[in-house]
Structures are given as structure tokens and as C-alpha cells.
């Protein structure tokens, strides 16, 4: 495939325009015939593209090292030649580029690399002398090796230059080199360090001809798994082992390096790549299928034994390869010494035998199907990583996982992945439970939002095996009288083992409900389409994918995975409840609402007994009214309690039946629970159980318990479900009537709003200690946030019991939720937990804000809304009696949720943090917003966006620019003339989507008729062409806007705008 120099150069320009750095080596290797001209061309471009900015120039010194020149630059760092005066030696300094030095992941990798490499001492490994940091720039110093890399040697020989070694001698030399590199790798492996990026460019031949392995840039400590779980893929796919390139579930081991060295040796011997492939997807496909070209196909004179050694090292499965790099080295030396080689003649059963590999690409049908799917997945993953590779070849990247066709269960999906599925294509029907949870009620003036939980809702519990997936749901909603609107995406990132790593943002309903505000309630119809795609490595778990990324992943996923539809009723309130966005059950909410939302009625209780000893006795309870129209958790537990002792007699787990989705009207709000009565109870519970089993009349209590933290968080479990029902189990006589017996239900009526001070009252719920008096908790911000280093809060909350001693068996559990609203709105919530002993002591916790501030660092300030839930609960056993330290932080435990019920909600209101460029010497405590200096205030306020223009139809168009403060959903803007009279009014409404994107807004003001005096003057002036000014005055149109956007502080002012004549 020969291409003209002009075409190659043109593609390089395209790559540069796309922001890609051309891979010099790969280019030169791919076009040896143009190598010289291409090298000159690349040099020239590199020089022109040299950035003129000071920050990218190298520092003069780093620590004790004096920098002399830049040697090279890779994705992970810049390498300088430097001098170490104390030892009078030259070294190579590897430094993180400043742009990356702020990324903690990159920093961690860099340090790991340095530490790993620093431990290695081997004649064939370029040693690392020291690791340091200077002025925040981490670096390490290694030996400066003069010489050429194997890549250069290969290129030279391929172009016909270099040493005129005859083929035979060349092969012996190559084998010797590879054996020595294998020695080095073995030494690294013994230190539990993988290289992971072995390739010709990383083997340098020093002037004495000794191969030196360098750039442990991708080294991962074998002892520290997990660091590869972030979805990043490094390295050049050409040299990667199949398991590394295709990201199989098994952790990498030394045999991945054996493979890469095998490829390196192959290339050294044959001067070409082992695969007939140019694009990344092709390479991946070839890799997975073992489609390598046997050396003897290329050159019948190639020694057969050496071929076996090379192909053994490049076995497709790790088990097919040499078990260690040392074994590889030994076999190479066997060949060199003329001894028989270990590598089997016919190849091991599953290895890529030369003949077969070359001519029968699909030897194992089953494995191949797995191969295809994996390859397709990996290809879509890799396509995103190696964007830059694609321009080397003319082909488009292959499609990703395509799902379409008939229904599939998890089993079938697995079959598909395992390659036993006959068709190879299926639709994910089993993904039946995307579990949409309504996060809150929707206020008339407020942003409504869904919280969407995309779990692994397969009909059997196996998640997608071995496929790190991105699950995307695209939501549409329709409210009464409002056409279908696209709400956008929700997503979940799922790891190989089915663990949900991160989950997408809330889906906002504001757009839809904007048109439904007049009603007391709206019915919102949802439709979600769900797709599963291979998780692109660009979607790191720590980072919310952008809508663009999701759209791309969505489009590349092809067919529809699952269609699903659900109808919900949302209640619309006039004003956000105080506890927004949680569902508020405070005094603002009609108590009747709680009854509607809570599970209340049981219509059948049936106790059956099977088995002689009572070992298999069950109690069935049929109930309905499952929280209609409130959200129902996917899973929860119901405990059967003895109402007298509060002891748990039996438990049942309710799991939402996937099939309910299809016939939701009949089944949706009813459930049947079966409690297995366990043996082994004693005393009173045994008696109760026996009584129940015998159907003698008993009263029991049902307590609803969230079985997962998720349920707790997403369904307002505490308020709606966290209650107890007293249940009268029918007497024996009732049993004879048959199974359908109406049971009398006595709903337990918990306090609707429980404040701590209520606890002092008589009859406080059991398990909660009495507290005399509650004083408002105080929140103190301990830190301002720094632009440079991760900011964090330390929040001290003092729960003052007013001097009344609290029982020593009581603890406070405080859960904070913090919402950061910064410039571009990216609310992120944190929950932290603090524990305090009774007795009026403080509770404190700290939380990193680093992530949420990613979006806010360009703003001079961020708004932080706190919400605090304080629970008073029996002290868990594990907090031993000696516990009293307020310093210690305790991870929230699931059982604490069980202790829920009484809680006290508190909303501190927004607190403004100032973002500094660096930590001030003595950073102040929270700066109250009224102390903001004028300059910051100005930057937060809206400003003029240029001249306003008057156009036909007596319309005045006035632009303004948002400041850095949050932008209200809607506000009124008055046009004010010189004398203060209002000549026009317009309403600004925030567009739907992820917050305002355009910072400049133009508003049209229709000038009122009849003209007032001021207006007349205004028009007259305009008509005369005189330059005048008008003022824009902002008014909050709603109370919520005022509260959420600190309207009074930043928006409540006027902006003067010059007026110019002109068409609009």
C-alpha cells in the first residue's frame, strides 16, 4: 500500500488540525519509502507548532538539576537532558507537562512509574536515579542513554540501510537482543512490576550494543490492582497482548510482556508487523483471532525452530506462551546454542499455529463468536483511544456492539457473549428494571428532576459478564397537554463484575413542566430506551460524560436494546417544600398526602404451615396501596415484629417483579409477601411464632426496611416507607373460610415531622433517647477552596442538647448533603456522615469538593447549598462504650439506615465560597456573602452585552451578559428610562438543558402604548439619532429564583446599556 508523499503529508495536516500529535515513529515506519522527506516535513511542522507560550518552556532548573535541552515528549511527559552538578553527570529528566500536573490520576501514575522503576537494578534496564518534586513539578532522573532504539534500527534495515549483516547473522543477533531484554523483564517481574509497553521504541541500544529497556511509563505494580480499572487504555495496540488490548477481565500478568517482546522480536526478525492490518480495529481483530503471519510464510528460509519460539511467545492465550520471560530467554538461547527448543512443533492446542493462523482464521467457532463480540466491543473502546491511529489507514472504525432483534434474557446474553448464541445478535429485553425513581416532588417554581437508577436488572442475577459496559437510557417525557420532550440521557458505568461504578445525572423535567404549572398535578409519561455499549475509556468513572459523548456512544451502539415505558403522576406544589429536593413531609405538606403515598392497606393475610416440625411454615401477607403514586423501591425488606418487644420474628424480602412492568395496572401497587418463620426462636418470639403458625389471633407489626442504601436514597424511603404497620393476624376460624381474608390493619402513625425537641415529649418512639432541647446546629466552613489544590470543606456541626445529658447509648448520626451550584450548573451531592456521642458534643466531618469544583474553578465563587439530616439513633454495638471522640469519622453503616425514622431536617441556605488562585496565607473562615468585596460582586452580576437596538414594531432589543453566579430559571427585566420610569418589561427564561450555555442574552422589550412621557422622549431621542442610555433592572419573578441564585445579592441591580439606532 504505497501512498504518495503528498497524501501522507496532507493526512498529517488533518491530524494536526484535529489536535492530534503525529506519531513520528509510526509514520516513518509505515512509509519507509518517504522516510527522509517525511522526517524533514515533521521537523518543520514541529518547529512551527512549537508553542510560543512561556508556560510550556522548560524551567531552567528542577531541584538540583540544570536543564539543558528537550530530548523527547510523550503523552505522559517531557524528557529533558539535564546536568546534575553535584555528581557532574548528565541525566535524562522525565517531567510531567504542566497541563497534566494538576490531574491527580496522572500524578499518581507518574509517581507509581518512578517508584516502580526506581526499584529496578539490572544491566539491561535504564536505571532511575532519583525522584523529586520542585515547585509542584514532579520529575525523576534517570541515566541518560545515548544510542538508537530498536525501532530506528528496524526502520533503517527495512529501508536497506544500516549494517550489511547477512540474514542468518541478523537473526542470531536479534535473538540475542530479545533474550537480554527478556532477562531484564524477568528481573522486573520478580519485583512485581510489569512493563506493559514493551516495543522496539522502548529498547535502546547503547553505544556498546547493549539493549537497555526504558520507559516503564506504563508500569503497573502487580501488587496494586485496581489502578487499571479506570477504563484507561494505554500503549500502542500493535504491541499489546490480546488480553491487554481487548481488556479482558483477567488481570494482566508477566505473560503480557512476553507477548509484547514476542512482537518486538518478530518485527526485528522480519522487519514488519506480524499482522496484515493497518487500522486499530483490524489490528484488534487480528490479535483476537490469532491472525498473525507466520515468518516462514514471508520467508521460507526462516528457521523453523526460531519461528516456533517467536510464535510461542506470541500465543493468543497467556497459557499458550512461555510462562515467564526467563523461559522465553532460555528457549531463545536454546536456539542460539543449537539445542532443541521447548516450543512444540505443532503448537499447543489453542495457540496460533503458524499454518492455521495464516490460512484458517476461524478455527474454533465458539471461541470465534466470543471473539467477534469482544473485538467489536474493544474496537469501539479502542477507536476512542486511538483516534489518532485512524488516519493512518483509509478505513472507518468498525461498529460497536449491535443489539437488535428479539428478546433476550441474561442467560441468552451470556450465550451471546460466550459464542453459543446461534444468531449472534439479540435485543436486551431482560433489562427490564431500569428503576426510575422520582427524586422529588416538582414545585411549580422549581426544577424537577428524576433520579434514574440504571441497575443490572437482569432476570437472573448475572450481570454482563466481563464486559465493562456503559448503560445509557434516553428519556422522553410527556406531560398533560405538552408534546413529547426529550429529557436527555441517564447513564451508568458498569464494571466487569457488574458493580455500578457511577451513575448519571438527574434527568430534569423543568422543560416539560414549564407548561404544566397551572395544574395541581401533572401526569408525566416516561419512555426510556436503553442501550448498552462498551464503556469508552474516555468516560472515566470520576467524570460525568457529556451529552455529546453519550450521544456518540448511543449512536455507535446501533439497535435498540430495550424499550420501556412507565407512567407516573407527579404532584406539583406551589413552592418548593422546605426540604427540597427530597420529598418533604414536613408541616408544609398536607398530611393526607403521606397517606396517599405510603403503603397502608393489607387485604389478605394468610398463614400456611407445611412440614411436621414447623420448619417450613410461612406467613403470606397480601397487601396493596404500595405507595401509589409514590415511588416503589426495587427491593426492600419487611420485618415482622412482635409489637410488644420490638423483636424481629421473621423477615421477607420484596423484589419488584420484572413482569410487573408489563401489567402494571393490576399488579403494580399490590404485593404478596411470604415470611419464612425460622426455628430457633426462644421465649416470647417462639410463642408468637407458634401462635402465628397455628393461626391464633395475634397482632404483629410490619416494618419496612430498605435493603439497599440506594432504595433509601432514591425513594424517600424514610418518609414514605419508613413506618410500621400494626397487623392483626386473623384467627383460626378465619383460616377455614379460605385464603382470602380481610385483615384489619391499624396503621401506625409516626410523627409527620420529628424534630429533636419532639423527642423530649412523652411517648417518643422506642430506641431514641430523650433530649431536652435542641438548638440549631451550626455549620462552620473551615476552608476556602483553592483553585490549585483540591479544596475541601471541613464542617463542624454542633448539636447542642441544651445541657440536658443524653443517654450514653445514643449517638447522633448526621448526614450531610451538599450541593454545589457553580457557574455552569453542575450540582453534585455528597453525603458524609459524622457521629457524635450524646451530651451536647459536636459532630464533624470533612468532605472533598475537588470533583464538584471541576466545573466551578473558572468562577470566582461557588454557591454551596447544605442540607443536613440529623438522626438520633441507638448507638450501634460496634461503637464501643469508650467511643467519644468527635474527631473520628465513621463510615455510614447500612444498619444505621434501619435506625432511621426519627430525623430532623435542616437547611442552612446557600453559603458562598470564594475560590482563590492559591491558598491564602491564612485562609479565612467562610466569607459571608455580604463581605464580598465589590470586585467579586461585580463579576457575579450581569453586565451589559453591548448596545441595544431599536427595531421595527417598536421593539427594543437589549443584550446583557451573565455574571458568574447561578442564573435564575426566570427573571423579569425592566427597561428603565433616565427618570426612573419603566418603559418596557421582558421576561428571561432559561432554556432547557444543562443550564444556560450562552452567556449573552438578548431580550426584546415591546414598548408600551400609549407612550408615557419618558418613552416618548426615549423614542424621540432615538429618532433624532441622539445617543442615550437605558437601564436594565432585574427582578426575580419567583421566590425560588431569589433563594437559589442569591438574586438579591448579584442580580438585584441595574445595568446601563447604550442605545444605538439600527435595524434588528
Q: Catalytic residue positions?
A: 197
Stretch that binds another protein, among 35-43, 370-378, 556-564, 932-940 (CB under 8 A): 35-43
Q: Which residue has the cell 532443541?
A: 340
Subset of residues 760 to 789 that bind another protein, contact rule: CB under 8 A: none
Nearer to another protein, 49 or 978 (CB): 49
Q: Is 946 in the site for another protein (CB under 8 A)?
A: no
In whole angstroms, give the CA distance from residue 38 to residue 10. Answer: 11
Subset of residues 484 to 513 that bind another protein, contact rule: CB under 8 A: none
Tell me the backbone φ, ψ of residue 736, rounded to 5 degrees: -70, -25
Nearer to another protein, 66 or 1017 (CB): 66
Q: Give 755-778 as a DSSP string.
A: -GGGGGSTTPPTT----S--EEEE
End-to-end CA distance of the chain: 57
Subset of residues 347 to 406 that bind another protein, contact rule: CB under 8 A: 384-389
Q: Is 9 in the site for another protein (CB under 8 A)?
A: yes
In whole angstroms, give the CA distance from residue 697 to residue 744. Answer: 11
Nearer to another protein, 263 or 408 (CB): 263
Per CB under 8 A, the list member of 33, 36, 50, 1058 interacting with another protein is 50
Q: Is 848 in the site for another protein (CB under 8 A)?
A: no
Nearer to another protein, 542 or 694 (CB): 542
Shortest distance in whole angstroms from residue 998 CB to another protein: 6
Q: Which residues pair with 277 in a beta bridge?
A: none
Subset of residues 673 to 712 that bind another protein, contact rule: CB under 8 A: none
Following CA atoms 908, 909, 910, 912 in sequence, which dihedral angle do they give, to the nearest 10 degrees? -50
**Whether 1008 contacts 983, CB under 8 Å:** yes
How many beta carbons lie within 10 A of that of residue 404, not counting itself? Answer: 13
| Interface characters, 92-131, with another protein (x: CB under 8 A) | -----xxxxxxx----------------------------
Per CB under 8 A, the list member of 7, 662, 679, 895 interacting with another protein is 7
Subset of residues 905 to 934 that bind another protein, contact rule: CB under 8 A: none
Shortest distance in whole angstroms from residue 354 CB to another protein: 30
Q: Give 617-649 as a DSSP string.
A: -EEEEEEE--STTS---SEEEEEEE-TTT--EE
Stretch that binds another protein, among 241-249, 254-262, 622-630, 849-857 (CB under 8 A): 849-857
Nearer to another protein, 125 or 822 (CB): 822
In whole angstroms, give the CA distance from residue 685 to residue 646. Answer: 10
In whole angstroms, give the CA distance from residue 641 to residue 692. Answer: 12
Q: Is 229 in the site for another protein (CB under 8 A)?
A: no
**Whether 867 contacts 816, CB under 8 Å:** yes
Shortest distance in whole angstroms from residue 1005 CB to another protein: 24
Q: Which residue has the cell 438579591?
A: 1048
Stretch that binds another protein, among 74-82, 462-470, 751-759, 865-873 (CB under 8 A): 74-82
Q: Is 1013 in the site for another protein (CB under 8 A)?
A: no
In whole angstroms, give the CA distance from residue 293 to residue 313. Answer: 14
Per CB under 8 A, the list member of 58, 405, 465, 1053 interacting with another protein is 58
Nearer to another protein, 891 or 935 (CB): 935
**Whether 506 contacts 439, CB under 8 Å:** yes
**Whether 173 contacts 163, CB under 8 Å:** no
In whole angstroms, give the CA distance from residue 461 to residue 459. Answer: 6
Cβ neighbours of residue 922 closer than 8 Å, sequence gap 6 or more: none
Shortest distance in whole angstroms from residue 11 CB to another protein: 10
Strands 500-503 and 485-494, how do they pair?
Answer: antiparallel
| Interface characters, 127-156, with another protein (x: CB under 8 A) | ------------------------------
Nearer to another protein, 538 or 841 (CB): 538
Per CB under 8 A, the list member of 36, 56, 168, 480 interacting with another protein is 56
The 3-state DSSP class for residue 288 equals: helix
In whole angstroms, give the CA distance from residue 975 to residue 1012. Answer: 13
Nearer to another protein, 45 or 298 (CB): 45
Give how many residues touch another protein by CB under 8 A.
81
Element (H, E) at 555: helix 547-556
Shortest distance in whole angstroms from residue 1042 CB to another protein: 25
Q: Is 71 in the site for another protein (CB under 8 A)?
A: no
Q: Is 851 in the site for another protein (CB under 8 A)?
A: no
Q: Which residues pair with 956 in a beta bridge?
A: 950, 1005
Per CB under 8 A, the list member of 1, 2, 54, 980 interacting with another protein is 54
Q: Is 53 in the site for another protein (CB under 8 A)?
A: yes
Per CB under 8 A, the list member of 296, 333, 999, 1035 interacting with another protein is 999
List helix spans (H) across 315-432: 325-336, 354-359, 365-385, 387-390, 410-418
The 3-state DSSP class for residue 1037 equals: coil
Q: Is 965 in the site for another protein (CB under 8 A)?
A: no
In whole angstroms, give the CA distance from residue 832 to residue 753. Answer: 23
Nearer to another protein, 275 or 962 (CB): 962
Subset of residues 544 to 583 that bind another protein, contact rule: CB under 8 A: 544-546, 548-549
**Whether 628 contacts 666, CB under 8 Å:** no
Shortest distance in whole angstroms from residue 24 CB to another protein: 6
Q: Is 21 in the site for another protein (CB under 8 A)?
A: yes
Stretch that binds another protein, among 56-64, 416-424, 813-821, 1009-1017 (CB under 8 A): 56-64
Nearer to another protein, 362 or 789 (CB): 789
Tell me the backbone φ, ψ of residue 493, rounded to 5 degrees: -100, 125
Strands 193-194 and 436-438, how do they pair?
Answer: unpaired
**Whether 617 contacts 608, CB under 8 Å:** yes
Stretch that binds another protein, among 91-99, 407-415, 617-625, 1039-1047 (CB under 8 A): 91-99
How many beta carbons lie within 10 A of that of residue 780, not counting itself? Answer: 15
Stretch that binds another protein, among 247-255, 701-709, 853-861, 933-941 (CB under 8 A): 853-861
Strands 1054-1061 and 948-951, how do they pair?
Answer: parallel
Nearer to another protein, 101 or 159 (CB): 101
In whole angstroms, give the CA distance from residue 999 to residue 530. Answer: 33
Element (H, E) at 522: strand 521-534
In whole angstroms, give the CA distance from residue 487 to residue 1032. Answer: 33
Shortest distance in whole angstroms from residue 961 CB to another protein: 10
Q: DSSP state, 159?
A: T
- Before 1028, cis peptide (omega within 30)? no
Tell me the backbone φ, ψ of residue 773, rounded to 5 degrees: -150, 145
Per CB under 8 A, the list member of 29, 62, 67, 570 interacting with another protein is 67
Stretch that binds another protein, among 9-17, 596-604, 687-695, 879-887 (CB under 8 A): 9-17
In whole angstroms, give the CA distance from residue 137 to residue 932. Answer: 33
**Whether 492 contacts 503, CB under 8 Å:** yes
| Interface characters, 176-205, with another protein (x: CB under 8 A) | -------------------------xx---
Shortest distance in whole angstroms from residue 914 CB to another protein: 17
Q: Is 57 in the site for another protein (CB under 8 A)?
A: yes
Stretch that binds another protein, among 65-73, 108-116, 128-136, 626-634 (CB under 8 A): 65-73
Shortest distance in whole angstroms from residue 856 CB to another protein: 7
Q: Is 338 in the site for another protein (CB under 8 A)?
A: no
Stretch that binds another protein, among 402-410, 820-828, 886-894, 930-938 (CB under 8 A): 820-828
Amino acid at each position: 500500500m504505497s501512498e504518495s508523499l503528498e497524501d501522507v503529508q496532507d493526512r498529517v495536516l488533518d491530524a494536526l488540525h484535529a489536535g492530534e500529535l503525529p506519531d513520528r515513529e509510526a509514520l516513518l515506519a509505515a512509509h519507509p519509502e518517504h522516510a527522509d522527506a517525511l522526517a524533514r516535513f515533521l521537523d518543520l511542522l514541529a518547529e512551527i507548532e512549537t508553542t510560543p507560550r512561556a508556560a510550556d518552556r522548560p524551567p531552567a532548573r528542577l531541584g538540583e538539576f540544570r536543564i539543558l535541552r528537550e530530548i523527547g515528549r510523550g503523552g505522559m511527559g517531557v524528557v529533558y537532558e539535564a546536568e546534575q552538578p553535584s555528581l557532574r553527570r548528565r541525566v535524562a529528566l522525565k517531567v510531567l507537562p504542566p497541563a497534566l500536573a494538576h490531574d491527580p490520576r496522572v500524578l499518581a501514575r507518574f509517581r507509581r512509574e518512578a517508584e516502580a522503576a526506581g526499584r529496578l537494578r539490572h544491566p539491561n534496564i535504564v536505571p532511575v536515579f532519583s525522584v523529586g518534586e520542585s515547585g509542584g513539578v514532579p520529575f525523576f532522573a534517570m541515566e541518560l542513554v545515548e544510542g538508537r532504539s530498536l525501532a530506528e534500527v528496524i526502520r533503517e534495515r527495512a529501508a536497506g540501510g544500516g549494517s550489511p549483516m547477512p540474514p542468518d547473522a541478523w537473526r542470531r543477533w536479534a535473538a540475542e537482543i530479545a533474550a537480554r531484554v527478556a532477562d531484564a523483564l524477568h528481573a522486573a517481574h520478580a519485583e512485581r512490576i510489569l512493563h506493559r509497553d514493551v516495543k522496539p521504541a522502548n529498547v535502546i541500544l547503547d553505544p556498546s550494543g547493549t539493549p537497555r529497556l526504558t520507559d516503564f511509563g506504563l508500569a503497573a505494580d502487580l501488587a496494586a490492582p485496581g489502578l487499571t480499572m479506570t477504563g484507561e487504555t494505554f500503549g500502542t495496540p500493535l504491541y499489546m497482548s490480546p488480553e491487554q488490548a481487548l481488556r479482558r477481565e483477567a488481570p494482566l500478568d508477566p505473560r503480557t510482556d512476553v507477548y509484547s517482546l514476542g512482537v518486538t522480536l518478530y518485527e526485528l526478525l522480519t522487519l514488519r508487523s506480524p499482522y496484515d492490518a493497518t487500522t486499530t480495529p483490524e489490528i484488534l481483530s487480528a490479535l483476537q483471532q490469532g491472525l498473525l503471519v507466520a515468518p516462514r510464510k514471508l520467508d521460507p528460509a526462516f528457521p523453523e525452530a526460531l519461528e516456533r519460539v517467536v510464535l510461542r511467545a506470541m500465543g493468543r492465550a497467556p497459557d499458550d506462551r512461555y510462562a515467564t520471560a526467563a523461559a522465553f530467554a532460555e528457549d531463545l538461547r536454546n536456539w542460539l546454542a543449537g539445542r532443541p527448543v521447548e516450543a512444540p512443533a505443532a503448537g499447543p492446542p489453542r495457540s496460533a499455529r503458524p499454518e492455521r493462523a495464516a490460512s484458517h482464521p476461524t478455527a474454533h467457532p465458539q471461541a470465534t463468536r466470543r471473539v467477534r463480540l469482544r473485538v467489536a466491543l474493544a474496537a469501539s473502546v479502542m477507536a476512542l483511544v486511538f483516534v489518532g491511529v485512524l488516519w493512518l489507514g483509509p478505513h472507518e472504525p468498525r461498529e460497536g456492539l449491535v443489539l437488535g432483534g428479539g428478546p433476550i434474557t441474561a442467560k441468552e446474553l451470556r450465550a451471546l457473549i460466550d459464542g453459543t448464541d446461534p444468531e449472534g445478535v439479540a435485543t436486551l429485553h431482560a433489562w427490564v428494571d431500569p428503576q426510575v425513581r422520582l427524586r422529588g416532588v416538582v414545585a411549580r417554581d422549581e426544577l424537577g428532576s428524576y433520579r434514574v437508577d440504571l441497575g443490572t436488572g437482569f432476570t437472573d442475577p448475572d450481570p454482563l459478564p466481563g464486559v465493562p459496559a456503559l448503560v445509557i437510557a434516553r428519556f422522553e417525557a410527556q406531560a398533560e397537554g405538552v408534546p413529547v420532550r426529550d429529557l436527555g440521557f441517564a447513564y451508568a458505568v458498569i464494571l466487569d463484575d457488574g458493580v455500578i461504578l457511577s451513575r448519571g445525572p438527574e434527568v430534569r423535567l423543568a422543560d416539560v413542566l414549564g407548561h404544566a404549572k397551572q395544574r395541581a398535578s401533572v401526569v408525566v409519561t416516561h419512555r426510556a430506551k436503553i442501550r448498552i455499549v462498551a464503556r469508552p475509556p474516555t468516560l472515566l468513572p470520576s467524570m460525568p460524560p457529556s451529552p455529546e459523548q453519550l450521544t456518540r456512544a448511543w449512536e455507535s451502539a446501533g439497535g435498540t436494546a430495550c424499550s420501556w415505558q412507565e407512567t407516573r403522576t407527579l404532584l406539583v406544589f406551589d413552592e418548593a417544600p422546605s426540604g427540597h429536593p427530597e420529598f418533604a413531609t414536613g408541616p408544609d405538606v398536607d398530611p393526607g398526602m403521606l397517606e396517599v403515598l405510603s403503603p397502608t392497606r393489607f387485604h389478605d393475610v394468610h398463614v400456611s404451615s407445611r412440614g411436621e416440625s414447623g420448619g417450613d411454615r410461612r406467613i403470606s401477607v397480601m397487601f396493596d396501596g404500595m405507595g401509589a403514586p409514590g415511588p416503589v423501591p426495587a427491593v426492600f425488606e419487611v420485618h415482622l415484629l412482635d409489637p410488644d418487644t420490638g423483636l424481629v420474628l421473621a423477615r421477607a424480602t420484596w423484589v419488584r417483579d420484572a413482569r410487573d412492568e408489563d401489567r402494571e395496572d393490576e399488579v403494580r401497587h399490590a404485593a404478596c409477601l411470604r415470611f419464612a418463620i425460622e426455628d430457633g426462636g426462644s421465649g416470647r418470639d417462639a410463642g408468637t411464632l407458634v401462635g402465628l403458625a397455628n393461626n391464633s389471633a395475634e397482632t404483629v407489626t410490619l416494618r419496612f426496611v430498605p435493603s439497599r442504601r440506594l432504595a433509601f436514597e432514591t425513594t424517600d424511603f424514610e418518609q414514605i416507607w419508613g413506618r410500621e404497620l400494626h397487623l392483626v393476624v386473623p384467627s383460626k376460624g378465619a383460616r377455614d373460610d379460605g385464603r382470602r381474608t380481610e385483615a384489619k390493619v391499624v396503621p401506625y402513625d409516626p410523627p409527620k415531622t420529628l424534630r429533636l425537641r419532639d423527642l423530649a415529649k412523652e411517648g417518643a418512639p422506642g430506641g431514641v433517647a430523650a433530649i431536652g432541647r435542641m438548638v440549631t446546629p451550626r455549620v462552620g466552613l473551615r476552608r476556602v477552596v483553592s483553585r490549585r489544590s483540591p479544596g475541601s470543606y471541613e464542617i463542624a456541626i454542633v448539636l447542642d442538647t441544651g445541657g440536658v445529658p443524653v443517654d450514653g447509648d445514643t449517638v447522633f448520626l448526621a448526614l450531610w448533603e451538599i450541593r454545589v451550584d457553580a457557574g455552569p450548573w453542575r450540582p453534585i451531592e455528597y453525603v458524609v456522615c459524622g457521629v457524635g456521642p450524646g451530651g451536647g458534643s459536636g459532630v464533624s466531618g470533612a468532605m472533598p469538593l475537588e470533583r464538584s469544583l471541576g466545573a466551578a474553578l473558572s468562577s470566582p465563587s461557588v454557591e454551596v447549598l447544605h442540607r443536613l439530616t440529623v438522626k438520633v439513633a441507638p448507638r450501634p454495638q460496634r461503637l464501643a462504650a469508650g467511643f467519644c471522640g468527635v474527631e473520628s469519622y465513621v463510615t455510614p453503616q447500612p444498619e444505621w439506615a434501619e435506625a432511621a425514622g426519627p430525623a430532623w431536617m435542616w437547611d442552612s441556605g446557600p453559603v458562598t465560597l470564594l475560590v482563590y488562585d492559591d491558598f491564602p496565607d491564612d485562609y479565612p473562615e467562610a466569607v459571608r456573602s455580604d463581605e464580598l468585596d465589590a470586585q467579586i460582586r461585580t463579576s457575579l452580576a450581569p453586565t451589559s452585552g453591548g448596545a441595544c437596538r431599536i427595531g421595527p414594531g417598536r421593539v427594543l432589543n437589549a443584550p446583557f451578559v451573565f455574571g458568574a453566579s447561578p442564573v435564575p430559571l426566570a427573571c423579569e427585566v425592566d427597561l428603565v428610562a433616565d427618570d426612573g420610569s419603566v418603559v418596557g418589561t421582558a421576561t428571561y427564561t432559561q432554556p432547557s438543558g444543562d443550564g444556560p450555555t450562552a452567556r449573552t442574552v438578548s431580550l426584546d422589550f415591546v414598548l408600551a402604548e400609549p407612550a408615557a412621557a419618558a418613552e416618548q422622549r426615549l423614542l424621540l431621542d432615538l429618532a433624532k439619532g441622539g445617543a442615550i442610555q437605558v437601564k436594565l433592572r432585574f427582578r426575580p419573578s419567583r421566590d425560588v429564583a431569589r433563594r437559589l441564585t442569591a438574586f438579591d445579592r448579584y442580580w438585584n441591580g441595574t445595568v446601563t446599556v447604550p442605545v444605538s439606532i439600527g435595524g434588528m
